Amino acid sequence: MILGMSTSTFTLLHVLISLVGIGTGLIVAFGFLNGKLFSVWNHLFLATTVLTRVTGFLLWGSFLWWFWPSRSPLFTSSIRQGGGAPFA
């Protein structure tokens, strides 16, 4: 059980959020290539990317078990990305 959902249901939610993030990322990239800024799409992309990372952390179980030195770059990049979100 993760947040009151079965593991399979939570994994499905994680995958759906990831797919939305990929789709919005493609729209944002298309806008960047054409010199346009899609503000709403950019914010949606950042939100779904952060949610994907958060749900991914929850899927791994206990934080202390999961946090090995080899995985610290993923954790620190999540902090950096979340800190940059207000400036988008």
Residue with tokens 């770059």: 73
pLDDT bucket at 88, cuts 50 / 70 / 90: very low
| Whether 32 contacts 74, CB under 8 Å | no
Write the pLDDT tens digit of every residue in 35-58. 888 889 999 998 998 888 888 877
> What is the predicted pLDDT for the residue at 62?
46
* Cut 0.75: pTM above it: no
DSSP state of 34: T
Contact 58, 2 (CB under 8 A): yes
Q: What is the pLDDT of residue 72?
A: 59
Q: Give tens-digit pLDDT for 3-33.
A: 788 888 888 998 999 999 999 999 999 998 9
Domain layout of the chain by residue ranges: 7-82
